[in-house]
Amino acid sequence: MLLQYLSLMRQEVSLIFIAVLVLICELTVNQRYKKVVIPITLVLFGVHTILGFVPFDGGKLFGGMFATSHAQALMKSVLNVGVFIILLQSVAWLKKEVNFQKSNEFLILLFSTLTGMYFMISSGDFLMFYIGLEIASIPMAMLAAFDTFRSKSSEAGIKFLLNSALSSGILLFGISLFYAISGTIYFDDLPLYFSPVSPLFALGFIFFISGLAFKMSLVPFHLWTADVYEGSPTIVTSYFSVISKGAAAFITSILLFKVFFNQLYLWKDIIYLLSVLTMTVGNLFALRQTNIKRFLAFSSISQAGFILLGLVNVDSLGVTAIIYFILIYILSNLSAFGVVMAIANVTGKEEIKDYNGLYKTNPLLSLTMMLAMFSLAGIPPTAGFFSKFFLFTDAAKGGYYWLVFIAVLNTIISLYYYLLVVKAMFISPNEQPIERFRSDIYTRTALLITVVGIFAIGIYSPIFEYIRNIIDKF
C-alpha cells in the first residue's frame, strides 16, 4: 500500500522531500557552507524534473480525492521545466547580500506553492482542489512581498493577498452551490446532477469561473496583475506570469473537460467573451507601457486570452494545443524575463527606454530578447507560431471563425508592441547604453535552454504528437 501511495504521489513526495531538505539545511548548516544549498537544490530539482517524464500507471487515492494519470503527470512536468529555468535564473539574485540570508526561505516558498499546484491538478474533488488552491496562493503572496525593504514589494504582496482572498471566497461560494445541487463534491459524480441545467447551477458556475479567471488574469479580473507584477521581485514576476498562469490553465481545462463537459452549450459563450476581452484589453494596455515588467504583465494577460481558444471546444485537440502552447509560452516568456533579470541584477534598470542601443554593448542578450519577442508574437519559424497555429486550428474546427479572426487581429497588434522592444535594442539611439557585462553561468544556461526550446519544440513535430497521444488516453 505504501509503495502504491509513493508511486502515485511520486512528484508530490519528491518535491516535498526537496523542500524539507532545504528547511533542514536552513536550520542546521553552518553559515559558511550555506552557499552550497542552492546548487544542490538545483541538482535535486533537475533530477525531479527528469523523473517526472518517466511514464507510470495512474490511479486514485484517498477515496478518489487524489487522482493522477499520464496527462496530469505531463502537466506537472511542464510546470517543472519552467520552475527549473526560474531556479537557474534566480541564482545570481539570491547570491546578492540583501537576499542571501533568506535564500532558503525563497526556495521553500517556491516549492510550497508548486506543491499546491500539484494537488490542484491531481484533485478528484473540490475539497482537494480548494486545499491545493490555498497551499499555492498563500506562499505566492509571501513571494510577492519578498523584497521587504521595498515598499512596492510589500504593496504587491498585500494586493495579491486581498485579491486572492476575495477570488477564493467567490470560487468557494460557487462550489457550495454545486454541493447544494448534487450533495457531492466528487468530479466523477457531479455531471450526473448538472443535467438539466438549473438556475442555481448557472449561478454557481458564474461564481466558480470568476474565481478561476482571477488566477489566469482574465479580463475583467486582471486589475491586480500589473501592480503585483511591477512590485514583486523580477524572478517572482516571471514565476507569476508563467507557472501560476500555466497551472490555472491546466486546472481549468481539466475541470471543464471532466465536470462541465455536458454543459458546453452554456459556458462556451462565456469562454468566447472572456477570450475576446482578454486578448484585446491586454494588447491595448501593453501598447501604453514604459516599464518592461508592466509591459510583460499585460502581454501575459493577452496570452491568456489565446489559451482560451483551446477551451471553446474542450476536445483532445484543444487540450493538447493548450499544453503545447503553455510549454512554449513558458520558454518564450522566461527567455524574456531572463534578459530582464540579468539586466536588473547589474543595473537595476526596468524601463523600456533603458534598452535603447542594447545591441551595441550586449548583442547576445539583445538577440535572445528578440527571439523571445518573436516567439511571443507568433512569428515563424519560432515555436510560438506553431503553438498559436494549433489553437487557431482547434477553434476553427469548432466553427468559431470570428473568434479566430479576432485572435489574428490581436496577434498583429501584439506584433507591433513586441517590435517596439526590438526597435529599442537595435535601432533607437542611446549615447549611454547599458554597459557591457557578462551574466553568471546559471543565467546563461537558463537562456540557452529557452532559446533552444523556442526553435526545437516548434520544428520537432513529434513533441506535439506525444502530447496528443497522452491526452487522447485521458
E-state strands within 43-184: 59-61, 66-68
At 362, the amino acid letter reads: N
256-281 b/e with 16+ CB inside 10 Å = b? bbbbbeebeeebbebbbebbbbbbbb
pLDDT, residue 1, reads 58
Q: Half-sphere exposure of 22 toward its Cβ, with a 13 Å CA cutoff?
A: 27
pLDDT, residue 144, reads 86
Distance between CA atoms of 9 and 131, rounded to whole angstroms? 16
The three cell numbers locating residue 245: 498562469
CA distance readout (Å), 156 to 99, 163, 164, 239? 18, 11, 12, 14
Contacts of 367 (CB under 8 A, 6+ apart): 359
pLDDT one-digit tens code per residue, 242-292: 888 888 888 888 888 778 877 777 777 888 888 889 889 888 888 888 888
pLDDT, residue 84, reads 92
Distance between CA atoms of 400 and 281, rounded to whole angstroms? 20
Strand, coil or helix: 123: strand
pLDDT, residue 400, reads 84
In this structure, the number of other CB atoms found within 10 A of the CB of residue 32 comes to 7
Distance between CA atoms of 299 and 176, rounded to whole angstroms? 34
Burial class (CB in 10 A: 0-12, 13-18, 19+), 241: buried
Report which secondary-structure segment, H or E, holds 49: helix 37-51
Q: What is the DSSP letter of 124?
A: S
At 33, the amino acid letter reads: Y
Contacts of 450 (CB under 8 A, 6+ apart): 85, 331, 332, 334, 335, 338, 368, 372
* Ramachandran assignment for 183, one of left (phi > 0), alpha (psi -120 to 50 degrees), beta (any other): left
Distance between CA atoms of 272 and 114, rounded to whole angstroms? 29
Q: Could you say which residues of the chain have pLDDT below 70?
A: 1-6, 31, 314, 472-474
Give the pTM. 0.91
Contact 81, 327 (CB under 8 A): yes
Contact 202, 273 (CB under 8 A): no
Contacts of 166 (CB under 8 A, 6+ apart): 214
pLDDT, residue 285, reads 86
Distance between CA atoms of 83 and 88, rounded to whole angstroms? 9
Cα-based torsion angle of the residue sequence 289, 294, 295, 301 in order, rounded to the nearest 10 degrees: -120
Distance between CA atoms of 173 and 203, rounded to whole angstroms? 10
pLDDT, residue 3, reads 63
